[in-house]
């Protein structure tokens, strides 16, 4: 199937598909490998950056906790405070805590007894209900015997990090707990964002269908981070696993790389921290992709032009050669190629022209022959390089004539007559050619044949007599057939003479005939006519010259018939009947 598809009618198409196809495939592969690697690298980098920012958040929170723990420890060392605490003066304690908020920069400072009961606070809004998360932390710390504890929770509806620190008197006797808190607000995320260049958003995903932004660095609290956080929270809930997620988020104006981290809260809930970064790494990756795309297309265009040029340079001479071949097939040998190039095609053109020249020569020769002789003879002539010019040579000439043809022609219709004649001539010709004779010409119902010309034959005389006897035999066969058809038998007379004659092309410039001329031809004709003489009782008469030329005289039986005068000859010719 594919091979059929690849069978192109034009070489240039094949070259184009192969070359441009291969190059295109190579470029496409390179493009996809490079871009996918690039993209995944950029993604990995972006993710690493986001994770760094996430660790920065963790670190900042941890530091803040440590600072508050340290501050609480210092506060417990305050004698006056210790005294007040021991006295149980809640009002004084509360006002002392307000003073501490100024000292340590924690907006919320509260004080609890060892059982987690609120004793005093720096903020009137921090009532027992709001102090619940602190009590929870104190309970956990007591159970686990911790020297400090912290967690995420809402205080007065706002996201806070809570820290509880025991109040020793002295260590390790716990006489109470400090509860401190700081908010994860816009100011906090803003500071991290300023350092890391990452946009941060805390999202309440308690109800994933109604996510709520708690704090964000984004100028407008976009719906995208909340939606992403909500979707991630849903997935997390289904998977029952709080796994950080990285994904590409398409905001209308630009793409962000997003990392979502979940943060567990004290109250068996969690919030999502959405970290987002403009995809600067991805932008550079896109630039590279575009550069590769452009270069690839350029390379393909250049390759296409190159292929077309090469294909043209190859196919044009080929097409020209095809044209020439077709013209030669029609017999026009004059065409010649031009611009012989140095490559194989040039050599082919050169060889082609040589061939055309050779064909022209050969055809010219064959043309001359074809007008006169049978194809075999023509081929033999060409093969042996016979010279067709006038030449004197010894030739045996055979003349055959149909006797009583005139009487026959009166009985038959012209059509029947011609059919019968051709039938007769065909048999005779076959007999002659079977013995290597060349039909020189048909003269009405008479045949003139040559042996030893145009190609010399050493046994020309033997062949001629053998042919004469074969003709007699062939006629007997034909007569048998004719008798069956109710036609009267035919009779034949054959004269054979060997003589030196002039052989060559005879005729006008337009029409040439290869033939022989000379006295010997007339003698052969005369011998043929002598077969009509009833006294001789023979169909085949030959001359002494022929008998003398025989190579194997014992093969034939020659009966002397005496001598006869021949017109134009001083000496009479000695004749023999051949049987």
Partner 1 sequence: MPRFLLSLSFALLLTAARLTAAAVVQVHVTDAKQSSVADAVVSLIPLDAAPVFTPSTTPVVVAQQGQEFEPYVTVIVPGTRVNFPNQDNIRHQVYSLSKTKPFEIPLYGPGTEQSLLFERPGIVALGCNIHDWMAAYIVIVATPYYLKTATDGMARLVDLPPGRYRLEVWHPRLSGEANREVTIAAGDTAQQSITVILKPDRRIRRAPDGAGGGYK
Minimum distance from CB of 185 to partner 1 (Å)? 34
Give the residue with the Cβ less far from partner 1, 21 or 70.
Answer: 70
Smaller CB separation from partner 1, 16 or 81: 81
Least separation in angstroms between residue 172's CB and partner 1 is 5
Region from 168-176, 297-305, 328-336, 365-373 binding partner 1, contact rule CB under 8 A: 168-176
Determine if residue 193 is left, alpha or beta; phi over 0 gives left, psi from -120 to 50 gives alpha, anything else beta.
alpha
Between residues 19 and 168, which has the closer beta carbon with respect to partner 1?
A: 168
Site size with partner 1, rule: CB under 8 A? 15
Q: Which is nearer to partner 1, 168 or 405 (CB)?
A: 168
Contact flag: residue 171 with partner 1 (CB under 8 A): yes
User: Residue 96: CA atoms inside 13 Å, Cβ hemisphere, count?
Assistant: 22
CB-wise, 167 or 262, nearer to partner 1?
167
Q: Which window, 171-179, 266-274, 319-327, 382-390, contacts partner 1 (CB under 8 A)?
A: 171-179
Look at strands 491-507 and 512-517 and give their pairing. antiparallel
Q: Which is nearer to partner 1, 39 or 113 (CB)?
A: 113
Residue with smaller CB distance to partner 1, 119 or 221 = 119
d(CA 482, CA 191) in angstroms, rounded, equals: 130
Q: How far is the CB of 171 from partner 1 (least distance, A)?
A: 5
Residue 423, burial from CB neighbour count under 10 angstroms (0-12, 13-18, 19+)? middle
* CB of residue 80 to partner 1, shortest distance in Å: 10
Minimum CB separation of residue 264 from partner 1 in Å reads: 27
Residue 430 found at the interface with partner 1 (CB under 8 A): no
Residue 70 as a binder of partner 1 (CB under 8 A): the answer is no
Q: Tell me the closest approach of the beta carbon of residue 170 to partner 1, in angstroms.
A: 3
- 500 lies in the binding site for partner 1 (CB under 8 A): no
Per DSSP, the three-state class of 530 is: helix
Give the Cα separation of 391 and 456 in Å (integer).
12
Residue 87 or residue 481: which is nearer to partner 1 going by CB? 87
Q: Which region among 162-170, 271-279, 315-323, 459-467 touches partner 1 (by CB under 8 A)?
A: 162-170
- Answer positive or negative: Cα dihedral of 324, 326, 329, 331: negative
The answer to whether 216 touches 201, Cβ cutoff 8 Å, is yes
Contacts of residue 142, defined as CB under 8 A and 6 or more positions apart, other chains included, come to: 114, 116, 174
Q: Closest approach of Cβ 149 to partner 1, in Å?
A: 16
Binding mask 75-104 for partner 1 (x = CB under 8 A): --x-x--xx-xx------------------
Work out which of 1, 4, 102, 172 binds partner 1, going by CB under 8 A.
Answer: 172
Question: What radius of gyration do the chain's Cα atoms show?
Answer: 63
Q: What single string gives the DSSP state of each residue in 110-162?
A: EEE-TT--EEEES-TT--TTTTHHHHHHHHHHHHHT-S-EEEEEEETTEEEEE
Q: Answer yes or no whether residue 115 interacts with partner 1 by CB under 8 A.
A: no
Distance CA 16, CA 420 (A): 67
Q: What is the DSSP string of 31-56?
A: HHHHHHHHHHHHHHHHHHHHHHHHHH
- Which has the closest alpha carbon to 267: 189, 178, 206, 208? 206
Q: Does 175 bind partner 1 (CB under 8 A)?
A: yes
The single residue among 30, 37, 173, 563 that binds partner 1, judged by CB under 8 A, is: 173
Nearer to partner 1, 3 or 79 (CB): 79
Tell me the closest approach of the beta carbon of residue 232 to partner 1, in angstroms.
41
Residue 143 found at the interface with partner 1 (CB under 8 A): no
- Give the CA distances from residue 256 to residues 248, 274, 279, 332, in Å, rounded to whole numbers and listed in that order: 6, 11, 6, 77
Query: How far is residue 305's CA from residue 160's CA, in Å, rounded to a whole number?
Result: 69
Residue 77 or 568: the one with the smaller Cβ distance to partner 1 is: 77
Stretches 74-82, 200-208, 529-537, 540-548: which one binds partner 1 (CB under 8 A)? 74-82
Retrieve residue 222's tokens: 């976009």
CB of 138 to partner 1, least distance (A): 17
Question: Which residue stretch of 39-47, 172-180, 218-226, 430-438 sits at the interface with partner 1 (rule: CB under 8 A)?
Answer: 172-180
Q: Which is nearer to partner 1, 74 or 302 (CB)?
A: 74
**β-strand 438-443 against 391-403: which pairing, if any?**
unpaired
Q: For tokens 């184009």, what's the residue?
A: 16
Nearest approach in angstroms of CB 141 to partner 1 is: 14
- Under the criterion CB under 8 A, does residue 145 sit at the interface with partner 1? yes
Binding status of residue 169 toward partner 1 by CB under 8 A: yes
Whichever of 114 and 244 has its CB closer to partner 1, that residue is: 114
CB of 113 to partner 1, least distance (A): 12
Smallest separation, CB 266 to partner 1 (Å): 26
Is 410 in contact with 457 (CB distance < 8 Å)?
A: no
Yes or no: say if 530 and 393 are a contact pair by the CB < 8 Å rule.
Answer: no
Neighbours of 362 (CB within 10 A): 12
Pairing mode, if any, of strands 149-155 and 118-121?
A: unpaired
Q: CA 483, CA 485: separation in Å to the nearest integer?
A: 5
The nearer residue to partner 1, 86 or 529, going by C-beta atoms, is: 86
Question: For every residue of 164-181, which 3-state class applies, written as one string?
Answer: EEEEECCCCCEEEEEEEE
> Whose Cβ is closer to partner 1: residue 170's or residue 252's?
170
Strand, coil or helix: what is 438?
strand
Binding mask 26-65 for partner 1 (x = CB under 8 A): ----------------------------------------
Interface residues with partner 1 (CB under 8 A)? 77, 79, 82-83, 85-86, 145, 147, 168-173, 175
């Amino acid at each position: 199937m594919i091979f059929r598809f690849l069978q192109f009618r034009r070489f240039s198409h094949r070259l184009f598909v192969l070359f441009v196809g291969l190059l295109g495939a190579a470029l496409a592969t390179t493009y996809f490998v490079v871009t996918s690697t690039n993209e995944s690298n950029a993604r990995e980098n972006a993710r690493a950056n986001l994770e760094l920012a996430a660790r920065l958040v963790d670190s900042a929170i941890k530091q803040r906790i440590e600072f508050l723990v340290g501050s609480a420890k210092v506060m417990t060392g305050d004698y006056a405070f210790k005294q007040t605490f021991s006295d149980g003066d809640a009002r004084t304690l509360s006002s002392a805590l307000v003073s501490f908020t100024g000292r340590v920069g924690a907006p919320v400072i509260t004080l609890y007894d060892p059982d987690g009961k609120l004793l005093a606070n720096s903020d009137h809004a921090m009532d027992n209900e709001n102090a619940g998360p602190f009590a929870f932390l104190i309970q956990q710390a007591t159970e686990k015997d911790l020297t400090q504890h912290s967690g995420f929770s809402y205080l007065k509806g706002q996201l806070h990090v809570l820290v509880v620190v025991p109040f020793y008197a002295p260590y390790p006797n716990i006489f109470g707990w400090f509860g401190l808190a700081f908010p994860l607000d816009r100011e906090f995320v803003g500071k991290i964002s300023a350092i890391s260049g990452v946009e941060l958003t805390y999202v309440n995903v308690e109800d994933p269908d109604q996510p709520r932004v708690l704090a964000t660095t984004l100028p407008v609290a976009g719906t995208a981070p909340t939606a992403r956080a909500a979707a991630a929270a849903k997935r997390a809930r289904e998977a029952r696993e709080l796994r950080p997620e990285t994904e590409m988020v398409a905001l209308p104006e630009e793409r962000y790389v997003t990392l979502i981290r979940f943060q567990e809260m004290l109250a068996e809930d969690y919030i999502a921290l959405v970290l987002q970064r403009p995809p600067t790494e991805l932008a550079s990756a896109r630039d590279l992709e575009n550069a590769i795309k452009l270069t690839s297309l350029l390379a393909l265009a250049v390759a296409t032009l190159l292929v077309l040029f090469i294909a043209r340079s190859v196919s044009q001479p080929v097409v020209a050669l095809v044209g020439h071949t077709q013209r030669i097939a029609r017999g026009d040998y004059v065409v010649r190629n031009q611009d012989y190039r140095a490559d194989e095609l040039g050599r082919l053109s050169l060889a082609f022209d040589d061939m055309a020249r050779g064909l022209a020569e050969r055809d010219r020769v064959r043309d001359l022959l074809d007008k006169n002789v049978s194809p075999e003879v023509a081929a033999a002539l060409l093969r042996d390089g016979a010279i067709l010019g006038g030449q004197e040579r010894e030739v045996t000439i055979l003349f055959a004539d149909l006797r009583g043809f005139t009487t026959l022609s009166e009985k038959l219709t012209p059509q029947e007559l011609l059919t019968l004649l051709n039938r007769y001539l065909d048999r005779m010709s076959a007999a002659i050619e079977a013995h290597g004779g060349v039909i020189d010409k048909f003269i009405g119902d008479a045949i003139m044949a040559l042996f030893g010309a145009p190609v010399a034959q050493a046994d020309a005389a033997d062949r001629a007599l053998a042919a004469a006897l074969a003709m007699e035999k062939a006629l007997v066969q034909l007569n048998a057939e004719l008798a069956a058809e109710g036609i009267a038998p035919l009779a034949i007379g054959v004269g054979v003479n060997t003589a030196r004659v002039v052989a060559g092309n005879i005729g006008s410039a337009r029409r040439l005939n290869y033939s022989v001329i000379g006295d010997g031809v007339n003698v052969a004709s005369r011998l043929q006519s002598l077969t009509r003489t009833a006294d001789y009782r023979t169909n085949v008469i030959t001359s002494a010259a022929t008998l003398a030329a025989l190579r194997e005289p014992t093969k034939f039986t020659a009966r002397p018939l005496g001598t006869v005068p021949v017109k134009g000859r001083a000496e009479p010719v000695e004749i023999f009947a051949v049987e």
